[in-house]
């Protein structure tokens, strides 16, 4: 994709800061999420090559699931790298389409993430996906996966971008063009992506709804902690608000709760965000 480094180059830039699959597995704690739609888990669909779907195990009749696209750290093709975090987000009533397969090897690309959008757009509302509402989609990712998410910005089907422990590695001018709501979850000054994320946040034009939080945990975040740790808590409120349209979840970001959880917070124009409850 023009304007973005190849997945391989990106994996080299941010990749060395993500733990090896073995390490991740050792650190990874299990959990099935704490959201209103827990328990959540993951599955694959043979018609969706190279991806993994995280969702509530049972969806109550009448409930619709909005969609989150996710790219892993290092653009890793192991979709279980941040499984506790993704299960937590799914338990809030979201269909997560993660790039990569369980324990998969190699790298993913921004184009693979776009393929997830194509796939769910053609299935939402019918068959096995009758309870999916793909009229609201957020693209997000950790580290190199965040760069894959940035690349979805130009896709009119994508409403908002979530940058997790990441920031642009090249062609920084893109940040000055961003108009869709942008959320940054960074790991504080010891996060290798901290300077890039801070720079992007500052470059976003006046008027764009944006939020940035720093939790001083470094580049590894808390994705592999039980239910995704504090990143999972913030992520739960984020999808409640931006995908499910639960406006009261916004106070986590604008009031004292994120701060009480240890996040250093900056934001502007968040009052412009209006999401119809799903
Ligand atoms: C840089 O990004 C902008 C906006 O995404 C794009 O229009 C431009 O083509 C990119 N430049 C290069 C050299 O890739
Ligand atoms: C909406 O968010 C609030 C605050 O996070 C939460 O207490 C409430 O349960 C949520 N409502 C629904 C329907 O999920």
Domain boundaries, the chain: 7-272
Neighbours of 170 (CB within 10 A): 14
Nearest residue (by CA) to ligand 2, atom 11, is 246
Give the ligand at the shortest distance from the Cα of 278. 2
In this structure, what token pair is assigned to residue 205? 């034009």
Say what the pLDDT of residue 5 is: 35
Sort 277 into a burial class: Cβ within 10 Å, 0-12 / 13-18 / 19+. exposed
> Which portions of the chain are predicted below pLDDT 70?
1-13, 15-30
Q: Is the CB of 239 under 6 A from ligand 2?
A: no
Residues 119 and 102: their CA atoms lie apart, in Å, by 19
Q: Does the CB atom of residue 154 touch ligand 1 within 6 A?
A: no
Distance in angstroms (rounded) separating the CA atoms of residues 140 and 110? 11
Residue 17: what pLDDT?
Answer: 42
Q: What is this structure's pTM?
A: 0.90
CA of 178 to the centre of ligand 1 (A): 13
240 lines ligand 2 (CB under 6 A): yes
Is the domain spanning 7-272 CATH 3.40.50.150? The answer is no
User: How much is the pLDDT for 171?
Assistant: 87
């Amino acid at each position: 994709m023009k304007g973005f480094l190849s997945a391989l180059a990106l994996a080299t830039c941010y990749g060395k800061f993500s733990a090896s699959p073995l390490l991740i597995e050792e650190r990874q704690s299990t959990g099935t999420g704490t959201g209103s739609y827990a328990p959540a888990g993951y599955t694959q669909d043979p018609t969706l090559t190279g991806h993994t779907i995280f969702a509530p195990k049972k969806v109550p009749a009448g409930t619709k699931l909005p969609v989150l696209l996710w790219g892993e750290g290092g653009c890793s093709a192991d979709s279980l790298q941040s499984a506790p975090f993704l299960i937590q987000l799914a338990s809030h009533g979201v269909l997560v389409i993660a790039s990569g397969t369980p324990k998969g090897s190699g790298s993913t690309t921004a184009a693979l993430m776009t393929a997830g959008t194509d796939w769910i757009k053609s299935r939402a509302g019918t068959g096995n996906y009758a309870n999916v509402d793909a009229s609201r989609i957020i693209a997000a990712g950790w580290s190199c996966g965040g760069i894959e998410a940035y690349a979805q910005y130009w896709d009119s089907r994508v409403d908002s971008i979530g940058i997790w422990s990441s920031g642009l590695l090249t062609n920084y001018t893109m940040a000055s063009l961003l108009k869709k709501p942008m959320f940054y979850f960074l790991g504080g000054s010891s996060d290798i992506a901290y300077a890039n994320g801070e720079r992007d946040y500052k470059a976003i034009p006046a008027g764009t709804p944006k939020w940035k939080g720093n939790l001083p945990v470094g580049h590894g975040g808390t994705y592999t902690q039980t239910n995704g740790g504090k990143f999972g808590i913030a992520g739960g409120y984020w999808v409640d608000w931006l995908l499910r349209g639960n406006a009261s979840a916004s106070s986590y970001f604008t009031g004292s709760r994120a701060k009480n959880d240890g996040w250093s917070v900056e934001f502007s124009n968040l009052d412009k965000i209006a999401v119809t409850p799903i």
